Structure 1
Amino acid sequence: MELNINGGSKLAVSDAVFDRAFNEDLVHQVVVAYRNAARAGTKAQKTRSEVNGTTKKSKKQKGGGARHGALTAPIFVGGGVTFAAKPRSFAQKVNRKMYRAAMAAILSELNRQGRITVVESFDVDAPKTKGLVAKLADLKAGKRPLIVTEEATDNLYLSARNLPYVQVRDVQGLDPVALVGADTVVVTTNAVKKIEEWLA
């Protein structure tokens, strides 16, 4: 198949990458796994054995109502937690074949929806936010554009830094969450070729 390049010409691309059937279950699994891998998993609570406090019996055995020992027990304020949370990893295993298939499915669906804009090149002369905003306005990239280049320059990164919903990625840093969340994906022809090499 062919993609329209902004300006009139066309670019031949692989059907396996840009015209693949959309598999919602697979895409959902990969997106969830990618987001879970970014979770810190550092939540920690103390059990009754870890709480700093005396283990001395709090009151006499008889005549004081309920019989109980240490005040570090979970039923007391300041005591330990019954099923205390501990640091853990939220990572989920995703096979390389699954990940690549999901990326191709997302790109294909974006293409079908007309949300991929191919340009010959995309860069700014100086690290100025104003210049990048003007370029994106010319391309009608929407409020949440994703800019994908073969190798993003420092000027491009710095220009997009102050724009809260504009993301800049090189091909190596492309991920499913960024693709799914973008209104429009602005991608250069060289980046398209590298994506094809990666996913085909």
Structure 2
Amino acid sequence: MREAKVETVYQIPVISPAGKRELAANLPGEVNPHLLWEVVRWQLASRRRGTASTKTRGEVAYSGRKIYPQKHTGRARHGDIGAPIFVGGGTVFGPKPRDYSYTLPKKVRKAGLAMAVADRAKEGKLLLVEAFLGVQGKTREFLAWAKEVGLDGSETVLLVTADEAVRRAARNLPWVVTLAPEGLNVYDILRTGRLVMDLKAWEVFQERLGGEA
């Protein structure tokens, strides 16, 4: 029998011009570490360029001439100097260009994203923002805003916003990782300490969870 999906209502703080308020959200009540590992492994595999390449003994730039006679030399038998046992010779079973990506079910990817966000909400590390007041694209403006809301750089922050000016203002800070709403992913959530999203990014996240599998 299929297990029922267990969800928990989280009260997520929202920073708005009128002050702080809370938004109720249904997110997974339990986090499956192995499922998160599967999604991160899939993400990193998809990012691999797969361009590593080595030359076999047939590809190295050496003559194929036998280096000395087969017999009566008192030495071991050898063919050409491009053999793998010689320095500079070909490589045995070395890497060749390949595609490391593979398919992961959409339901698994969607569940992993929901669990990663739920984990940040459970730890009190998820913050929603209605408007970035005073941030017009300058780093000093974002620093002033961050200080006002309690972000002081003591931990890394994943900033997900549809406002390009805000992303531009924050991208030079070493403790901030910026993403557009469509780019929200499990790996970046887990490798940063806090998750900050504007309401547009939150809507995109909810649509991704509610879409057809």
Question: What's the TM-score, normalizing by structure 2?
Answer: 0.84
Match of 1:147 in 2: 159
Q: Contact between 2:133 and 2:145, CA under 8 Å: does it hold in 1?
A: no
Match of 2:67 in 1: 58
SS at match of 1:117: strand
Displacement after TM superposition at 1:95 (Å)? 1.1
Where does 1:33-44 land on structure 2 (aligned, <5 Å)?
33-44=42-53
Q: Does the C-alpha gap of structure 1 residues 56 and 180 become closer, same or farther in structure 2, counting only changes over 3 Å?
A: same
Q: Contact between 1:146 and 1:182, CA under 8 Å: does it hold in 2?
A: yes
- 2:128 aligns with one of 103, 118, 130: 118
Which has the larger share of strand? 2
Match of 1:20 in 2: 29
Separation in structure 2 between the aligned mates of residue 175 and residue 147 of structure 1, nearest angstrom: 12
Structure 2 residue runs of 5 or longer lacking an equivalent are 1-8
Separation in structure 2 between the aligned mates of residue 126 and residue 118 of structure 1, nearest angstrom: 19
Where does 1:173-188 land on structure 2 (aligned, <5 Å)?
173-188=183-198
Displacement after TM superposition at 1:123 (Å)? 6.1
Match of 1:195 in 2: 205
Q: Does the C-alpha gap of structure 1 residues 19 and 146 become closer, same or farther in structure 2, counting only changes over 3 Å?
A: same
Separation in structure 2 between the aligned mates of residue 125 and residue 61 of structure 1, nearest angstrom: 78
Displacement after TM superposition at 1:67 (Å)? 1.9
Separation in structure 2 between the aligned mates of residue 145 and residue 34 of structure 1, nearest angstrom: 20
Q: What amino acid is the match of 2:191? A: G
Match of 2:97 in 1: 87
Structure 1 residue runs of 5 or longer lacking an equivalent are none
Aligned structure 1 segments of 4 or more residues deviating by more than 6 angstroms: none
Q: What amino acid is the match of 1:152? A: D
SS at match of 2:166: helix
User: Aligned residues: percent identity?
Assistant: 30
Q: Contact between 1:20 and 1:104, CA under 8 Å: does it hold in 2?
A: no
- 1:11 aligns with one of 20, 23, 33: 23
Question: What's the TM-score, normalizing by structure 1?
Answer: 0.89
Separation in structure 2 between the aligned mates of residue 177 and residue 158 of structure 1, nearest angstrom: 22
SS at match of 2:195: strand
Separation in structure 2 between the aligned mates of residue 139 and residue 166 of structure 1, nearest angstrom: 15
Q: What amino acid is the match of 1:69? A: G
Greater relative contact order structure (CA < 8 Å, 6+ sep): 1
Where does 1:126-137 land on structure 2 (aligned, <5 Å)?
126-137=136-147
Size of the aligned set, in residue pairs, is 195
SS at match of 1:147: strand
Q: What amino acid is the match of 2:163? A: A
